[in-house]
Amino acid sequence: MNKKKSDENKRQYERLRSYCLIRYNKMADAKPGSEKTTNVKNISEGGLMFTSYEYLPVDSTIKIMINFPGREEPVETVAKVKRCIKASESEEVYHVGILFLDITDPDRQQIHAHVEHARRDKNGKKLISKRRWWQFWLRKKIKSSPSHEDPA
């Protein structure tokens, strides 16, 4: 039986929990000055996850600018929304996972260097994670299960 690579591990790259700022703009309504600024939750050479205060449809295309500390020019690329999960029941807050579509090799190398720098740091190693598909399922399952009252 042949298993697809995506069945075993959907992520090709390790992700770094990172808190740099990004600006993004939906390609459908790309007007000057309509960019939104937000925080990155994690990043890899293949994509990133960020917080959004608006729902972004899966498979929609966005332009993204990543501001790395110590770098004057942001990394600019076009990305595809792969997931948009509501992060709060009480607020319109979403975690948006994107896949880079046309990132240049120098920009990809910059992201790789950013992740590798953390890997070499004693405390930075704790920020590296490689998620498996079942961890997303388990987290979703836990959130949707009814809460139990503490008998104490």
Does residue 4 lie within any of the structural domains?
Answer: no
Residue 136's pLDDT band (boundaries 50, 70, 90)?
very low
Does residue 97 lie within any of the structural domains?
Answer: yes
What is the phi/psi pair of residue 115, to 5°? -70, -45
Give the count of domains, the chain: 1
- Kindly list the distances between the CA atom of residue 141 and the CA atoms of 21, 22, 110, 118, 147, in Å, as whole numbers in the listed order: 30, 30, 36, 31, 12
DSSP state of 92: -
Does residue 5 lie within any of the structural domains?
Answer: no
| pLDDT (0 to 100) of residue 49 | 94
| pLDDT (0 to 100) of residue 30 | 65
What's the pLDDT tens digit per position in 61-110? 999 999 887 778 889 999 999 999 999 888 899 999 999 999 999 999 88
Does residue 73 lie within any of the structural domains?
Answer: yes
Lookup: tokens for 40: 């990155």
| pLDDT (0 to 100) of residue 58 | 96
What's the pLDDT tens digit per position in 4-46? 444 334 556 777 777 788 999 988 776 777 889 999 998 888 9
d(CA 14, CA 142): 24
**Structural domain for 57, as ranges:** 12-132
Q: If you average pLDDT over residues 104-125, what whole number do you get?
A: 79
Does residue 99 lie within any of the structural domains?
Answer: yes
| pLDDT (0 to 100) of residue 55 | 94
Does residue 116 lie within any of the structural domains?
Answer: yes
Does residue 1 lie within any of the structural domains?
Answer: no
Higher per-residue pLDDT: 125 or 92: 92
| pLDDT (0 to 100) of residue 129 | 61
Does residue 139 lie within any of the structural domains?
Answer: no
Q: Which residues contact 66 (CB under 8 A, 6 or more apart)?
A: 20, 22, 40, 43, 48, 74, 75, 76, 111
Instruction: Residue 47: give its domain's CATH number.
Output: 2.40.10.220
